[in-house]
Amino acid sequence: MKEVLILSGKGGTGKTSIIGSFADLADNKIMVDCDVDASDLHLLLAPRPTEEHDFVSGVKARVEADKCNACGMCIEICQFESITMEDTAVISKLACEGCGVCAHFCPEDAIILDKNHCGSWYISDTDYGPLVHAQLFAGEENSGKLVSHIKNQAKQLAESTNTDLILIDGAPGVGCPVIASLSNVDLVVVITEPTLSGKHDLERTLDLTDHFKIPALVCINKWDIHPEMSTEIETACTQRNVALLGKIPFDTTVVDCQIQGVPVTKSKTSPAAEAIRDVWVKLQKKINNLDDQVSVDGSLAGLKLPQAK
């Protein structure tokens, strides 16, 4: 079984359209949406949840008003300014970091630490195969932990169903959820666009995959809106010894398909769909060759990050 992560370095590159198309084209796979802060793959894949679970992480402090004598000590010692005084002390759930110091020092034992229900995760059926996805509640942190959790769930599901491929939709940027989504992947595909910020974010993303020694491939979306910048990106990829998987042209059919909620590869005539099919064929070959690359040229393909705790 192989895990392939699709990253973009930034939002708005068309990554979701492309991974939705891969979902349409790939056989025997499970999809994972690791963009738990602002997931959007579900808009394209129209999941029908078969399992829904709470995601609980960390604790939040809460005052039991009938025990509080309003001494104010907790307000003084909270380093996060999470507590205010009304008739009794009141803790802002949003501001509380769950350090537990207030509960430790409260003379009346009036503060308790509740487990923090900060999101939900799902296993869903889609027309294209199973999707494991999640939603972190607004203002909650620990998105990296939730990403690790749903990736582990997807892996268990893949093992129990003899699935060949896990296709992972990563979060934009290079932050905690992206780093968590890199854990254990075999190959990263970076979707970029021919703009200065696209090139800059591509470089940052490739720095990250280099750092973790994970092989990466690049795909330029809407390459023809700025051919010169596309050429610059190709040159940068060559200099870094990163293979270009393909170039997808700008095509209004992509937007039409997004509005209809279907992958663009459902279109028989779209130039973008045709280019994505070509990219997919090349990607399949790269996935199939991953094990060979390790043994033949000693490349780093297949090296694994340690599992996130």
Residue 86 Cβ vs ligand SF4, minimum distance, rounded to whole Å:
11
Nearest to ligand SF4 of 84, 238 (CB atom) = 84
What the block records as the tokens of 181 is 């989504």
Q: Write down the number of H helices and E strands in the chain.
A: 10, 11
Residue 84 Cβ vs ligand SF4, minimum distance, rounded to whole Å:
10
Give residues with Cβ within 8 angstroms of 281, minimum separation 6. Answer: none
Q: How far is CA 106 from CA 63, 101, 109, 145, 247, in A?
A: 10, 9, 5, 30, 61
Backbone angles phi and psi of 135, in degrees to 5: -140, 120
Strand partners, 169: 6, 33
Residue 66 Cβ vs ligand SF4, minimum distance, rounded to whole Å:
11
Question: Which candidate, 153, 121, 152, places its Cα nearest to that of 39?
Answer: 121
Nearest to ligand SF4 of 106, 283 (CB atom) = 106
Residue 179 Cβ vs ligand SF4, minimum distance, rounded to whole Å:
25
Residue 138 Cβ vs ligand SF4, minimum distance, rounded to whole Å:
18
**Distance (Å, rounded) from C-alpha 199 to C-alpha 190?**
11
Question: Which candidate, 185, 140, 163, places its Cα nearest to that of 37?
Answer: 140
Nearest to ligand SF4 of 88, 299 (CB atom) = 88
Where along the sequence are the contacts to ligand SF4 (CB under 6 A)? 61, 63, 68-74, 78, 80, 82-83, 88-89, 91, 96-102, 106-108, 110-111
Nearest to ligand SF4 of 89, 123 (CB atom) = 89
Nearest to ligand SF4 of 52, 64 (CB atom) = 64
